[in-house]
């Protein structure tokens, strides 16, 4: 099939689901998204920066410097005000081993019965196009429940209640989460940018 798309972007993720998901979202843009494997990259890209934005930039720059390709990356995390922004950049490995249950337990133990439970999910997308960097950010504000509720989503979803709802991300339908989430907002900005190229 002849592709009429004018740009090919490499997505700096090892997650194949994320690639097909984003290609569906970017269907009406001049962009096709391909995987790292498609350009022969099987590297485990380092994520050693102290911020979510820093890690997103690090991943995109790694691919751009090594392969000279147009590319983008995404990094996300949960920031809890009463824990001074933790788990933040450490969200995936907060309790040590990428276990969502243990991560949530650690958050709930550290928070105890504190009244201040405000938090936000943050996603940063770093795009490098024609050698220029562009950043897109999506934020979803909410509060941390006293205990987990619901089995939907992943990660911290069962303890995070987005503002304006009385259910956690773990209880809300996926369509609702995908409409209001940090990731949805960041991807929407990327979409708006790419559509007018």
Q: Please tell me whether residue 108 binds ligand ITT under the rule CB under 6 A.
A: no
DSSP state of 174: H
Residue of this chain nearest to ligand ITT (CB atom): 155
- Verify binding: residue 121, ligand ITT, rule CB under 6 A: yes
Q: Nearest approach, Cβ of 74 to ligand ITT (angstroms)?
A: 6
**Is 75 among the residues known to form the active site?**
yes
The smaller minimum CB distance to ligand ITT, of residues 5 and 25, is found at 25
Per CB under 6 A, the list member of 138, 161, 181, 190 interacting with ligand ITT is 181
Q: How far is the CB of 82 from ligand ITT (least distance, A)?
A: 18
CB-CB contact of 5 with 27 (8 Å): no
Q: Are the C-beta atoms of residues 42 and 36 closer than 8 Å to each other? A: yes
Cα–Cα dist 110/104, whole Å? 10
Distance CA 136, CA 5 (A): 22
Q: Which of 7, 14, 39, 54 binds ligand ITT (CB under 6 A)?
A: 14
Check if the beta carbon of residue 23 is closer than 8 Å to that of residue 3. Answer: no
The residue assigned the tokens 């962009």 is 31
Number of residues that bind ligand ITT (CB under 6 A): 19
Which of 77, 138, 142, 148 binds ligand ITT (CB under 6 A)? It is 77
| Closest of 177, 149, 173, 174 to residue 162, by C-alpha | 177
Is residue 153 near ligand ITT by the rule CB under 6 A?
yes
d(CA 72, CA 139): 18
- Say how far apart CA 197 and CA 195 lie, in whole Å: 6
CA distance 46 to 152: 29
For residue 168, state whether it binds ligand ITT (rule: CB under 6 A): no
Among residues 58, 76, 161, 168, the one that binds ligand ITT under rule CB under 6 A:
76
User: Exposed (0-12), middle (13-18) or buried (19+): which is 15, by Cβ within 10 Å?
Assistant: exposed
Is 92 a residue that touches ligand ITT (CB under 6 A)? yes
Of 91, 128, 136, 185, the residue at the interface with ligand ITT (CB under 6 A) is 91
- CB-wise, 14 or 25, nearer to ligand ITT? 14
Q: Which residues bind ligand ITT (CB under 6 A)?
A: 13-15, 75-78, 91-92, 103, 121, 153-157, 169, 181, 183
Active site residues: 75
């Amino acid at each position: 099939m002849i592709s009429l798309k004018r740009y090919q972007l490499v997505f700096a993720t090892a997650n194949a689901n994320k690639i097909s998901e984003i290609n569906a979202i970017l269907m009406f843009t001049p962009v096709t998204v391909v995987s790292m494997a498609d350009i022969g990259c099987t590297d485990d890209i380092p994520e050693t920066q102290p911020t979510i934005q820093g890690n997103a930039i690090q991943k995109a720059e790694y691919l751009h410097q090594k392969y000279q390709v147009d590319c983008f990356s995404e990094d996300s995390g949960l920031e809890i005000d009463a824990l001074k922004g933790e788990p933040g950049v450490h969200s995936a490995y907060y309790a040590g081993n990428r276990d969502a249950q243990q991560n949530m337990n650690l958050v709930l133990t550290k928070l105890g019965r504190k009244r201040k439970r405000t938090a936000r999910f943050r996603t940063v997308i770093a795009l490098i196009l024609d050698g220029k960097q562009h950043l897109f950010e999506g934020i979803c504000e909410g509060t941390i429940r006293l205990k987990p509720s619901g089995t939907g989503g992943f990660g911290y979803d069962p303890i995070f209640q987005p503002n304006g709802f009385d259910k956690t991300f773990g209880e809300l339908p996926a369509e609702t989460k995908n409409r209001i989430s940090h990731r949805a907002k960041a991807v929407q900005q990327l979409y708006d940018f790419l559509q007018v190229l």
